Chain A
């Protein structure tokens, strides 16, 4: 069915998002009988250590965890307030069934399971195994990510499983694999303060990875120069030595232009290149035409900025390059990353103290979530699903035949397109809110409405779960245990603070029961996530992301271990590529020349302005959790359109006016925020909000040919000043999509 059972305002009235401002049990002082649970934040890839205060099976507050080495007690506002999800009035406590004209009604687990299993069997019998798809997420623990991959391949035998890391880390991962031969940040964060020059591209570190700020500021105290590429002057850019306000999609102009100058002035490491790399001659040839003047036209910034960047980067004794979604969310996302990485390898500044490279993961388990086999083309241990040897090994671990493991399936965007085209008829999703997080939201809604059956595991009724036939009440991060792998590649332990409320269940128990009822009980008879980790260790053994040497006990003793960790006595590998040894079979880094090409949709006469999207510090991704926490909503209550005064003047727009941002696919009406800190050819709208306040109504479904990441960071729009909307959606509370 997969259509809303009643109008949105009625669903919002019953299921929220409503704002939670007071902890369960009210404001209480720290008492002696309360428990402090050392665990990690449920939100971003920094995975900050935090202690949750627990009384009577309620999380009542937090206490900084100053001994955890990564963040040493530091937190961003999301981390401070994350505990307000507990005892939340919107929390789903029972399985729910869609009832036309009524909404959702509570049902028993047995009934829910019968429906789900019955529909899976019906759809797969009628349309084939691949007609039932699985969408998962990179905020799942390693154990759950592993479980979902196995569930799809063994219990459902569908090829079509993919995850929302497809919107996050895949461009960076693909580029790293191509050049380094491995997909992980190359260094522990402790190398950042030792670098003498730092280049951060497309990374709004202050708002999306706030804890990294102190590492960068500490580098600057130690004398480092800071180069920032961003179309907006972010809080980090304000104090940079060189801020390059690059045109969205123009990053290759800066990177190739820098490399051109590095080669011309001899600021490359010939010895390192000769001994540890391949392909430099073709690379050098390819950047010959990237003179400062040519590069400047591509990058949309004065050529002097590119020259200065090269002058800061080139002669430095140590350096650190980092990037994030700003250069990755493009149809040339992989190329953007490779052009950046070429700068690291050409100067030989990798694999030693203070010399490094990192991609800043977005989601909580952005790293681990992409290693355990929940990607459409991947098996556990970062193995390749089309490699016969890899298939054979995993078939052995799972106790199935190699032939029974499906081949490569569809990635997230083509998967949703296949739903829209009627080829996929059933869907189970967990930890994914595509109604907000996927581009071209109207298309996504149409696709969901075409499903014959949709079931969703969630702890709140997300905007996507509203379309489900059966909603399975799952667990918050603090209601279960497991591991995640942080931005550095450090595998850490999440500890259970409380049990799921009422009839809500730990996610893995739900999946295991479905698998059992489908006839695979013996393959999914885990008694705990720890048991799953034990199997994951073996499944990853000999793979690139080798966890075999890790046990939960070791993780507890060490505050986390870095993969690869192939043997029980192995100390883990905080820094990759030491002594110029890379991940490819030849042990070398492979330079790959990159040629700039235009974005899928460039501005034109009809849609003359560039829209780029991103995040604000107090909200996280699709906002399912953070739009329910009062203090975080107060801090950024509704989306806005950042616009330069020169562009605003052209359209007669003043600060605070309502502005309609409209692309060929849809529009969003938000307040104008007139600021001089953005390029005058570009506007910015953050994407955390739903419905008529969703920036993704406008964005483009076009994907990178290699990574299949969508082009969130550039599409063409037109602007107009409009009156305050007063329709039913506009009248909702701001966290639900309203405007004030």
Chain B
């Protein structure tokens, strides 16, 4: 069995926030969660998505850090800012394409998901992926994920013209090789999308 990797399957997420709560319970986090749950648009859907750090191979947060405070471990985990170096400028917060780093004003420092490095560096699973009751967050081997899932893992992203490779994988349909994220003007392109797929009233049309 190869070494464990982190896989996110947004289609499995049920929005329970077990991940967010468990993150705060990791030995080094002392009650502060380093991850968050995105509620996509509650009016239209119950879709939610957990957002952990994706641990980019070439982390933009570290590139833009003027204080050189963000370091990557040899095994590819991007760490929180180093306390003696971080100047609290929030460049990293603004630059991350996934919206991960958080500036914490109380300690004037950027903190972020470190994949529970105290756990994952000694062979344990990160807290969030251990407790996740839906399997939306899973920490397992590549063989195991391929054996048990219909979708496939990818770790290649394109944001506009920017290509990003991440340590964390996301599960996508088999035909997809890269997650392409273009610019969408909010509320302007309804024709490109199915019309309100989760509107219960539309499902019942023709009843009355």
Contacts and interface: CB of A to CB of B under 8 A. Distances in A.
A233 B130 CA distance: 27
A76 B18 CA distance: 5
A50 to B, nearest CB: 10
A654 B65 CA distance: 43
A646 B198 CA distance: 14
Contacts of B121: none
A665 interface: no
B201 A676 contact: yes
B16 A238 contact: no
B135 A80 contact: no
B21 A77 contact: yes
B183 interface: no
A614 to B, nearest CB: 14
Interface in B121-165: 125, 127, 130-135, 148-150
A135 interface: no
A30 B27 contact: yes
Nearest to A678: B200
Residue of A61, A64, A80 ringed by the most chain B CB atoms within 10 A: A80
B201 A80 contact: no
A298 to B, nearest CB: 12
Most buried by A among B24, B47, B48, B201: B201
Chain B interface helix/strand/loop/mixed: loop
Contacts of A81: 21
A80 B148 contact: no
A656 B58 CA distance: 42
B25 A62 contact: yes
B135 A218 contact: yes
B184 interface: no
B177 interface: no
B16 A233 contact: no
A29 B27 contact: yes
A27 B125 CA distance: 21
B133 A213 contact: yes
A644 to B, nearest CB: 6
Interface string A562-584: 00000000000000000000000
Nearest to B32: A27
A324 B38 CA distance: 28
Interface in A134-149: none
A571 B18 CA distance: 34
Contacts of B44: 675-677
Nearest to A636: B17
A217 B171 CA distance: 13
B107 interface: no
Given A74-B133, A676-B196, A300 B15 contact: no
Nearest to A305: B203
B192 interface: no
Interface in B3-36: 11-18, 20-22, 24-25, 27-28, 30-31
B42 A75 contact: no
A219 to B, nearest CB: 12
Given A210-B134, A301-B204, 20 more contacts: A61-B25, A74-B18, A75-B131, A76-B18, A80-B21, A210-B14, A211-B133, A214-B134, A217-B134, A236-B14, A243-B203, A300-B204, A300-B207, A644-B200, A655-B43, A675-B42, A677-B46, A679-B204, A680-B200, A680-B204
Interface of A: 21-22, 27, 29-30, 61-62, 64, 66, 71, 73-77, 79-81, 206-207, 210-211, 213-214, 217-218, 220-221, 232-239, 243, 245, 296, 300-302, 617-618, 631, 635, 644-646, 655, 673-680
The list of the 3 closest CB pairs from A to B, nearest first, reads A206-B14, A235-B14, A27-B30
14 contacts: A66-B130, A75-B18, A77-B20, A217-B135, A218-B135, A221-B148, A233-B45, A238-B198, A296-B207, A302-B204, A644-B200, A675-B42, A675-B43, A676-B198
